[in-house]
Homo-oligomer: A and B are copies of this chain.
């Protein structure tokens, strides 16, 4: 019969959970009731994991990857091919590539993309750091693996133009029909890219 039927701490947890992406009021309520029923240690484990992630995780001063030790595991690894740098937007893109276990070079995380409409220019993402890196170390190839959307493509174009004068080979990841995908359901732009990127067999 009062404004909120919940107790103060339940209301507060629901509020905090709704701040997370993809979690609305209903999901937050459901999670809260789950947590109320869960053993206290489990909830404390989650709370501690949250705090630990903020306390231990920092950005690698070389590549910008998230790490607990600086430089990160990849930058420290002597078996890695230091002649290749793969440029990605975010650490999760880096992890997506690592999962393939096919790439053995280094990375450079931009921490965003160029997006003039949102006021994000070249000085707001880690482009300067990339230039410094390329000038200091010898590098043969820069693979641009930004996402295949408007901002990602614009960022790829900008980087290609900026890095060409350094005499380094600049490549872009291939676009096309995803493996297991269906030609019938491919959109026109993906289909066009798949045709443009055709290879001799």
Contact = CB atoms under 8 A, between A and B. Distances in A.
A45 interface: yes
A166 interface: no
A33 B92 contact: yes
Interface residues of A, number: 58
Contacts of A22: 27, 30-31
Contacts of A40: 54
A32 interface: yes
A26 to B, nearest CB: 10
A25 to B, nearest CB: 12
Interface stretch (A93-101, A131-139, A182-190, A191-199): A93-101
Nearest to A15: B49
B66 A50 contact: no
A67 B7 contact: yes
A177 B178 CA distance: 44
Interface string A66-106: 11100001000101000000000011101100110100100
A161 interface: no
Given A1-B98, A98-B1, A104-B1, A50 B56 contact: no
Given A7-B67, A31-B21, A98-B1, A13 B49 contact: yes
Contacts of A16: 45-46, 49
A53 B32 contact: yes
Given A5-B98, A44-B54, A46-B50, A20 B12 contact: no
CB-CB nearest 4 A-B residue pairs: A5-B98, A47-B47, A13-B49, A47-B50
Interface of A: 1-2, 5-10, 12-13, 15-17, 19-22, 27, 29-36, 40, 42-57, 66-68, 73, 77, 79, 90-92, 94-95, 98-99, 101, 104
